[in-house]
């Protein structure tokens, strides 16, 4: 295998002017040695990948890597990749071609692929994409320093071992692209469900829950650093389950949610994703008890038809899903926002069954929908057992019908919020106007209002006076 030429000129950079720093600034060992190499990291896919990139940056900061936003000057370029649909993988391959052109101008640049595509393709990646030096799966990030030194030594490096224990609980993430107000906290990894369409159990391994104390501590640290909102992340947060080593302490998701909500009443708590088979009334009652737990639930249905749901191996049927929506309305009221993911054109789906998905949208009146057409993934149950037999044009047409119907409901949900006062956490200036601020209400709807003297991080009571259908416009009261 041909090896990239590695130039070590970055080792000779002048050290930062350390003497000028005040005594209480902690300068990492690497910065003190002046050996800072530049890391450029790009994340694709779900929030868990974004959260993992923050862990990777933390591990590499200890190795003397500073992050940069300029790929052309990077010493190490990492793409944290997604395999969920074929298109996600195509995007990464196209990006690698662009990076190749940067690498030609900067021959010392190392290129690594992390995340789900790394896990799915393993060392095959090195054969398929010659530009790649490093392939690292989601449970192997602690090994990055060792793997990078292997690459520095002129070899290619691969570690795609999955773990039953790794949760990176002790690693403090470096917050990337942070607004300083909202942050993600990973509470678990992997997935033990075997939805027949889904690649995640293969790329992320077995489900494991992170130590509850380390989660609460991370939330406390974020509050101390000025953060106002955390989102607890997992593929299926409702199956969170942690026990202390001596077996005296057991924490389920509802209890964890409560512990995080108690960190500070000024800290908003969100979570994602809830699995319809696992979300309990206990979780809903916990949400009802705490004002700072946001009234928004992402509850992916995938389909509105029981036969299709069974083929998808989702382990619930339509009546069960409808009952969970009713429970949300019963316990949290009509104002609680619900969103879904829908897959159009799954194997053997008939027109009538597609109509059931549309009617589920009408039943649930979702605030938001993330909708896709089915994309067969190699190795999954569906790829092995079911024919991907819906023509692409049909899949696309059904998807468009789902999107159109969902938009009607989203607009209606925004419209019913007009005339009400919302507590808005300000995230920053509005993209449209420097005279306006943008934030979110508890339901995760975007709210835009005149800036006055308010700032990022403030909680502001805003009367919604109109809606664009995708945001509320209003004024502080
Ligand atoms: N753990 C979450 C989903 C994570 S994947 C859950 O169970 O709901 C995010 C979404 O991608 C899924 O909800 C699904 O709608 C979509 N998805 C997953 N695999 C897909 C595939 N093969 N084709 C199309 N969409 C897919
Ligand atoms: Fe995939 Fe299903 Fe697990 Fe979600 S619950 S990650 S869709 S296998
Ligand atoms: Fe994609 Fe992996 Fe997330 S496949 S959606 S990055 S868990």
Ligand 2 centroid to 33 CA: how many Å? 44
| CB of 424 shorter than 6 A to ligand 1 | no
Ligand nearest to the CA of 115: 3
Ligand nearest to the CA of 298: 1
Q: Which parts of the chain have pLDDT scores under 70?
A: 1-35
Residues of the chain with CATH 3.40.50.12160: 16-159
Instruction: State how far the Cα of 454 lies from the Cα of 424, in Å rounded to an integer.
Output: 11
Helix (H) / strand (E) containing 308: helix 306-311
Alpha helices in 340-427 (DSSP H): 351-364, 381-385, 392-415
Instruction: State how far the Cα of 442 lies from the Cα of 139, in Å rounded to an integer.
Output: 33
Ligand 2 centroid to 253 CA: how many Å? 17
Ligand nearest to the CA of 191: 2
The residue whose CA is least distant from atom 2 of ligand 1 is 235
Helix (H, G, I), strand (E, B) or coil at 12: helix
Residue from 193, 238, 372 whose mutation best tests the ligand 2 pocket (most atoms within 8 A of CB): 193
Residue from 48, 196, 201 whose mutation best tests the ligand 2 pocket (most atoms within 8 A of CB): 201
| CB of 116 shorter than 6 A to ligand 3 | yes
In CATH terms, 16-159 corresponds, of 3.20.20.100, 1.10.290.10, 3.30.70.260, 3.40.50.12160, to: 3.40.50.12160
* pLDDT tens digits, one per residue of 419-441: 999 999 999 999 989 999 999 99
Q: Judge if pTM exceeds 0.75.
A: yes
Q: Given this structure, which CATH class describes domain 182-415?
A: alpha beta
Token readout for 52 is 């993992």
Looking from the CA of residue 47, the nearest atom of ligand 3 is 3
**Concatenated DSSP letters of 43-98:** E-SSHHHHHHHHHHHHHHHTTTEEE-S-GGG-SEEEEEE--SSHHHHHHHHHHHHH
Does CATH place domain 421-476 in 1.10.1040.10? no
Burial 39-57 (b: 16+ CB within 10 A, else e): bbbebbbbebbbbbbbbbb
Ligand nearest to the CA of 204: 3
Contact, 45 vs 79, CB < 8 A?
Answer: no
Q: Cis peptide leading into 241, omega within 30 of 0?
A: no
Helix (H) / strand (E) containing 242: strand 241-243
| CB of 115 shorter than 6 A to ligand 3 | yes
Residues of the chain with CATH 2.40.50.140: 421-476
Q: What is the pLDDT of residue 35?
A: 59
């Amino acid at each position: 295998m041909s090896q990239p030429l590695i130039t070590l000129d970055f080792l000779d950079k002048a050290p930062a002017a350390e003497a000028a720093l005040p005594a209480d600034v902690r300068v990492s060992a690497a910065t003190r040695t002046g050996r800072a190499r530049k890391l450029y990291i790009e994340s694709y896919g779900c929030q868990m990948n974004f959260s993992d990139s923050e862990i990777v940056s933390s591990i590499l900061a200890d190795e003397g890597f500073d992050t940069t936003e300029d790929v052309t000057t990077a010493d190490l370029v990492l793409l944290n990749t997604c395999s969920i649909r074929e298109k996600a993988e195509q995007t990464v391959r196209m990006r690698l071609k662009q990076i190749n052109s940067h690498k030609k101008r900067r021959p010392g640049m190392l290129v690594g692929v992390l995340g789900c595509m790394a896990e799915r393709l393993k060392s095959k990646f090195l054969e398929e994409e010659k530009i790649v030096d490093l392939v690292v799966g989601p449970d192997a990030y602690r090994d990055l320093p060792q793997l990078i030194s292997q690459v520095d030594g002129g070899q290619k490096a691969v570690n795609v071992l999955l773990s039953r224990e790794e949760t990176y609980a002790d690693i403090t993430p470096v917050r990337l692209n942070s607004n300083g107000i909202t942050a993600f906290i990973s509470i678990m990894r992997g997935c033990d469900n075997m939805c027949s369409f889904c690649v995640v159990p293969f790329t992320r391994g077995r489900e494991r829950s992170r130590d509850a104390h380390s989660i609460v501590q991370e939330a406390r640290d974020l509050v101390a650093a000025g953060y106002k909102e955390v989102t607890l992340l997992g593929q299926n947060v409702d199956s969170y389950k942690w026990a202390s080593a001596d077996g005296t302490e057991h924490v389920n998701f509802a209890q964890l949610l409560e512990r995080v909500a108690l960190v500070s009443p000024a800290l908003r708590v969100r979570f994602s994703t809830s699995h319809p088979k696992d979300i309990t009334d206990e979780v809903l009652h916990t949400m009802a008890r705490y004002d700072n737990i946001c009234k928004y639930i992402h509850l992916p249905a995938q389909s509105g038809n029981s036969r299709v749901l069974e083929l998808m191996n989702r382990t619930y049927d339509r009546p069960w899903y409808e009952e969970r929506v009713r429970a949300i309305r019963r316990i949290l009221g009509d104002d609680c926002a619900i969103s879904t993911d829908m897959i159009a054109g799954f194997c053997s789906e008939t027109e009538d069954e597609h109509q059931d998905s549309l009617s589920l949208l009408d039943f649930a009146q979702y605030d938001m929908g993330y909708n896709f057409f089915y994309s067969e993934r190699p190795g999954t149950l569906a790829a092995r057992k079911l024919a991907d037999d819906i023509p692409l044009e049909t899949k696309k047409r059904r998807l468009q019908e789902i999107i159109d119907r969902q938009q009607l409901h989203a607009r209606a949900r925004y419209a019913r919020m007009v005339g009400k006062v919302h507590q808005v956490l300000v995230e920053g200036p509005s993209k449209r106007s420097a005279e306006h601020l943008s934030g979110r209400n508890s339901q995760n709807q975007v709210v835009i209002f005149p800036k006055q003297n308010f700032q990022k991080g403030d909680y502001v009571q805003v009367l919604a006076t109109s809606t664009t259908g995708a945001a509320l416009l209003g004024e502080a009261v």
